[in-house]
Amino acid sequence: MSAAEELAFETLARTISDRAGLTLESYKPKCLKRRIAVRMRACGVHTYRDYASVLDRTPAELERLRDALTINVTRFYRNPETWNALRRRVLPDLVEGRQGRVRAWSAGCSSGEEPHTIAMVLADELERRDRGGWLERVAVDATDIDRESLLRAQAGRYRTEAFNETPPDLLQRYTEAAGDGRLVAERLRALVSVAALDLGEGRAPHPPYDLILCRNVVIYFERPMQERVFNLFVDSLAPGGYLVLGKVETLFGPARDRLAIVDTRERIYRRPA
Ligand SMILES: C[S@@+](CC[C@H](N)C(=O)[O-])C[C@H]1O[C@@H](n2cnc3c(N)ncnc32)[C@H](O)[C@@H]1O
């Protein structure tokens, strides 16, 4: 980074500290820059100075940045009611109808808790039907823009607290103790393919998908970008495939007209077969 850029970054960091009420000194500079870069990309600006003027003009952006800086948050079985609805209303049809050939995508997977939860609930669904042998037909793509998070996703090893919401039987059957944390079982890790992908690129890794989860990600995007991403998801779904958004995210635009609602509260949608 040039001296001028470094200076612009310091000025921006001071503005953020003052206006967002965050003590940025408590963040690692590398982590801070990475998070700010994610927001800059979402706003379509390339310099710290331009981003500072976006912050000046748009109060909502300050909120999003604050969220972005504090979102190292994800966990296994996050929002249990969503996973319970998925297991009750979606998975039985998916695994039987496709004889276990289920292709899923966790878009914005962070450190991998979500894609590994997908692998767990699919394994559970198959094993309860005596179809454990079909597990090798399952594929879960896990993508995120943040390469450091992806390294953790790849390792599949987590602190015990990451599983606080996980049903005990899933925890016991699909993870094992590893040092002071837990490791996701090898047979599940083998199903999850981790890759870097910026959703702004407008492409999916390996469509068509039977199940796409994109939760707590689009909330940080501007509306036109949200609309593009929603269209990408619908285009990437197989006929009869399902899309799940985060609990505070709402589908709108042309994508909304192309999907049927399965569960309004849990934000589960389906592409007609
Ligand atoms: C709060 S986490 C959500 C993790 C998980 N989906 C969940 O709900 O627990 C949001 C993730 O979105 C990722 N993200 C933000 N902008 C992105 C983009 N343009 N493309 C891909 N991932 C992005 C962030 O790096 C972060 O890991």
Q: Please give the structure tokens belonging to residue 162.
A: 């990451």
State whether residue 35 is helix, strand or coil.
helix
Indicate if 20 and 93 belong to the same structural domain: no
106 domain residue, yes or no: yes
How far apart, in whole angstroms, are the C-alpha atoms of residue 205 and residue 104? 11
- DSSP letters for 207-244: --EEEEEE-SSGGGS-HHHHHHHHHHHHHHEEEEEEEE
pLDDT, tens digit, 9 for 90 and up, residues 37-80: 999 999 999 999 999 999 989 888 887 887 777 676 799 999 99
75 domain residue, yes or no: no
Indicate if 39 and 84 belong to the same structural domain: no
pLDDT, tens digit, 9 for 90 and up, residues 145-167: 888 889 999 999 999 989 999 99
Beta carbon of 210 within 6 Å of any ligand 1 atom? no
Query: What pLDDT score was predicted for residue 86?
Result: 98
Domain count, the chain: 2
Indicate if 47 and 116 belong to the same structural domain: no
> Residue 268 is inside which H or E element, if any?
strand 268-270
Which ligand 1 atom is nearest residue 200's CA?
Answer: 19
Tell whether the model's pLDDT for residue 176 goes beyond 60: yes
Predicted confidence band of residue 22 (pLDDT cuts 50, 70, 90)? low
Question: CATH no. for residue 239?
Answer: 3.40.50.150
Instruction: Return the best residue to mutate from 41, 110, 201 for the ligand 1 pocket (most ligand atoms within 8 A of CB).
Output: 110
Predicted confidence band of residue 25 (pLDDT cuts 50, 70, 90)? low
Q: What is the mean pLDDT of the chain?
A: 92
**pTM above threshold 0.85:** no
Query: What pLDDT score was predicted for residue 162?
Result: 92
Q: Domain limits at 61?
A: 3-69
Indicate if 124 and 64 belong to the same structural domain: no
40 Cβ neighbours under 8 A, 6+ residues apart: 46, 48, 50, 51
Question: CATH no. for residue 38?
Answer: 1.10.155
Phi, psi of 120 (to 5 degrees): -60, -50
How far apart, in whole angstroms, are the C-alpha atoms of residue 105 and residue 237? 10
Tell whether the model's pLDDT for residue 26 goes beyond 70: no
